[in-house]
Homo-oligomer: A and B are copies of this chain.
Amino acid sequence: MGQAPIQLGRNGCESCAIRNRAVCGALDDAELRELGRIGRFRHYKAGDVILADQEPTTFFANVVSGVIKLEKMSSDGRQQIVGLLFPPDFLGRAYSRTNPYFAQAATDVEICAYPHSQFEQLLRKNPELEHRLFEDTLSELDAAREWMFVLGRKSAQEKVASFLHLIAKRQPMIGCSHIHQPGPARFELPLTRSDIADFLGLTIETVSRQLSKLKRQGTIQIVGGREVTVPDLRELGLTAGGENEAVA
């Protein structure tokens, strides 16, 4: 739970791992150079706080590697993860003086950070960039609402299966194939049991029990607590229930 961002030098966008997939994909070469001039790589270790709730906005960023959790917490200690960011997602709440939630590194994380005011200036004078960010925000809103259904209406078993299904879709595979058709999948869980519980509105005990149950049923295998194999994604999808699964 430290707070030790490691600041690195300027980055070369041309060779960036997420070039064309992140918001910067909206930019032509000249504009990209400008964004590259203001962008800085930063590293965080799992558990580091990246943005604190209610604090003034100081920067935005793109996730380059790792997973970031967005978290709401109440004074009495309850917490709820309200979003997960994977590469090449965008981090930060545009046009707000303060940050509406905590952003914390779930795994070790690399981001490409842009100073607040410089980025918003770029946004103002570049409608294509703003358009791209707008589309990203719309997708996030869709995802948030999808998750509201999970939180409000699904059983513990379905919640855990839904979570695994989500990770299977977004997390880079351990093996190699990056196409996820119905069929087998293999991935590493980027979250602890405690994080999973906070994401699903459950307790760690319930999460643990449901994972064990899914193992017993043969829907998944787990080794070392974190590495998950799903023999048949379709079956996992079925136990996830609900089926608003028209996610494209």
Binding site for B on A (CB under 8 A): 54, 70, 72-76, 78-80, 82-83, 93-96, 100-101, 127, 130-131, 133-135, 137-138, 140-142, 144-149, 151-153, 200-201, 241-244, 246
Assembly CA distance A146 to B127 (angstroms): 29
- Evaluate contact between A148 and B138: CB separation under 8 angstroms: no
Copies, count:
2
Assuming A130-B130, A134-B134, A148-B151, what are 13 further A-B pairs, CB within 8 angstroms?
A70-B145, A72-B145, A74-B244, A75-B243, A76-B241, A78-B153, A80-B148, A83-B145, A100-B145, A141-B141, A144-B148, A151-B152, A152-B200
Residues of B within 8 A of A94 (CB): 134, 138
Checking B54, B80, B141, B242 against A149 with a beta-carbon cut-off of 8 angstroms, the contacting residue is: B80
Q: List 18 A-B contacts (CB under 8 A).
A: A70-B145, A72-B149, A74-B242, A79-B153, A80-B152, A80-B153, A82-B145, A82-B149, A83-B145, A93-B142, A127-B127, A127-B130, A130-B134, A133-B134, A140-B141, A144-B148, A147-B148, A152-B200
